[in-house]
Chain A
Amino acid sequence: MSRITEAFKNKPIFMPYFPLGYPDLDTSIDVIEALAKNGADLIEVGLSFSDPLADGPVIQHATQIALEKGIAVKKSIEAIGELRNRGVTIPLILMGYYNPMLAYGLEKFVRDAKEAGADGFIIPDLPMEESEEFIKVAGDLPLIPMLAPTSSPERMEMIARNAQGFIYLVSVTGITGERKSLAEGLGDLIAQVREHTSAPVCVGFGIGTPEQAKEVGEMADGVIVGTACVRTIGGSESPVETAREFAKSFAKVLR
């Protein structure tokens, strides 16, 4: 059984996002380890890109700092290996934009990521239309498909039907970042997606508080928290301690 399938045994799951290299490489590895060991069921490990066009200001800022501190694809993949050495057993999904992967070489990227212990990929600028090349190379590691509130019923069906791993449902029409309230009609949107697939449906974009997570958790199989995680932990004087508390506070409401 894959680590991803294993993770979804107890739903809903908590999936934080954190970029490698922020505020520096060592701290980011410690933070991800702390998240993993204090309640995260799956972690989206962020690869930095100079032009993150699906991200709001908080994640842009964090990944910019990571780049200034010298993060690169190679170091990021090595960090996955380090996390496995430290006994992190939950699924780690690499989330990043396509160009750095192309520059690294797709085959090498997938091979090195797999060897290091990554479990799959999320690539926000690689829609269904362009994903064939990557999927062919990725083999048994899933490319997590994304759906949005703007996706037509036809697209939902096509994308959901072939879903591997789980579905990343973008809850708002927009970029990453916390919102005061949950998107209207989220329940209907989740129900629509479920018509086409038995794969787990996880919801991200706009979820910032344990209360919101709890509400989403009642409808979805997983709750993705990115911006709030980066902002809270990145802005803290003791990031690792904060990461522990952050993971606990979300895990608690989802159990």
Chain B
Amino acid sequence: MTLLPHKFGPYGGQFVPETLMPALIELEEAFVAARADVQFQKEFNKLMASFVGRPTPLTYAKRLSEKLGGAQIYLKREDLAHTGAHKINNALGQALLAKRMGKRRMVAETGAGQHGVASATAAALLGFECVVYMGEVDIARQEPNVFRMKLLGSEVRPVSSGTKTLKDAINEAIRDWVTNVRDTHYLLGSALGPHPYPTIVREFQSVIGTEAREQMMMEVGCLPDTVIACVGGGSNAIGVFSGFVNDEQVELIGVEAGGSGIETGKHAARFGDPSKGRVGVIHGTRTYVLQDEDGQIAETHSVSAGLDYAAVGPEHALMRDTERAFYTSATDTEALDAFQTLCHTEGIIPALESSHAVAEVIKRAPRMRKDQVILVNLSGRGDKDLNTVIKELGTEF
């Protein structure tokens, strides 16, 4: 019935109130039309180049590679994209779609604040009124991003319901959207939610994978053996994976937030904890969800707000089932160690989210041969995390 496939195997779908169904259908139609419209593509590509600063570079992490003594490590530098993370790719793409649909207002949710900042930026650039919902817990730990959103002219509405994190911010954004759906676009920031969002977000983030593959071939002369990315909802991962998904020899690794450790129950590893991570429905999509026996969505924990979410994008669920991608996790401590390692060896301050991917590199690279190559998607920069890191490292720092 939908124009595009609305499921990824058994996952995905459109589990939303009837009030929103017409909006999802309208969005899908607009997206399909835009994708086929050369003018739209031109406008998007032009913004990616002149405003975002794409293509983002591929950086050889020489000292990190030497220190680990195994595989050669390359970083896809999404941290260098305008606003400091990959989120801007999707925010601008969807804002252009919203303009095309004649919407005047956008709402967005944000966890780490990166998608909120990207949305506020897109709204300022293209002339939208913008409201960003953010959990009170996240507001406290990502304060610099709250200021940035406000400076960019958006309203940040604190969310005090439920666990006061990303999950609840999504609930509030959806409630706002249900109420104002006629003139409002919901700028969903990750590859989750109801169809067509997971497909739209992947499409706008696929620029990461397309560039990275080309850069690998041109600058390194080979495909990577392994591609690693962190997975919250999973938009940066799906973006970089999409460039290599047809290269069967390339191993794809997603890294979830292991929090205080899987065994403690305080984590956001949907795939990593079978006792709580089961297939269910949340925020309009069927996927792996951390939940209790009664189907109530579980509280999650991660040092990084952007990975602190109970569900994973539905396409990742399928890639995991089909074993096209493999998923593992890194704990808070491992991520903080990786954060410092990258600072010291490469002069790059990574986002705590991206530090989870770096943590997996640190585990994996020494076991690989020197002629093997790892590509890691450095999804964002860590300036927003300084407060958290200083607090976590304490006197040691």
Q: Which residues of A contact B (CB under 8 A)?
A: 49-54, 56-57, 60, 64, 67, 72-74, 98-104, 124-130, 146-152, 155, 159, 170, 173-175
Contacts and interface: CB of A to CB of B under 8 A. Distances in A.
A177 to B, nearest CB: 10
A20 to B, nearest CB: 13
A152 B29 CA distance: 15
Contact of A152 (B22, B280, B283): B22
B296 A49 contact: yes
A97 B19 CA distance: 15
A110 to B, nearest CB: 15
Nearest to B172: A53
B13 interface: yes
Interface residues of B, number: 40
Contacts of A147: 18
Interface in B237-255: none
B391 to A, nearest CB: 28
Contact of A125 (B15, B175, B297): B15
B14 interface: yes
B15 A130 contact: yes
Interface of B: 1-2, 6, 13-23, 161-162, 167-168, 171, 174-175, 178-182, 278-284, 289, 291, 293-297
B296 A175 contact: no
A170 B16 CA distance: 14
Contacts of B179: 173-175
Kindly name the residue among B14, B20, B175, B297 whose own CB sees the greatest number of chain A CB atoms within 10 A: B175
B195 to A, nearest CB: 9
Contacts of B19: 54, 148-150, 170, 173-174
A127 B281 contact: no
A108 to B, nearest CB: 12
Given A54-B178, A103-B280, A124 B162 contact: no
Contacts of A53: 17, 171, 174-175, 178, 283
Contacts of A152: 22
A130 B297 contact: no
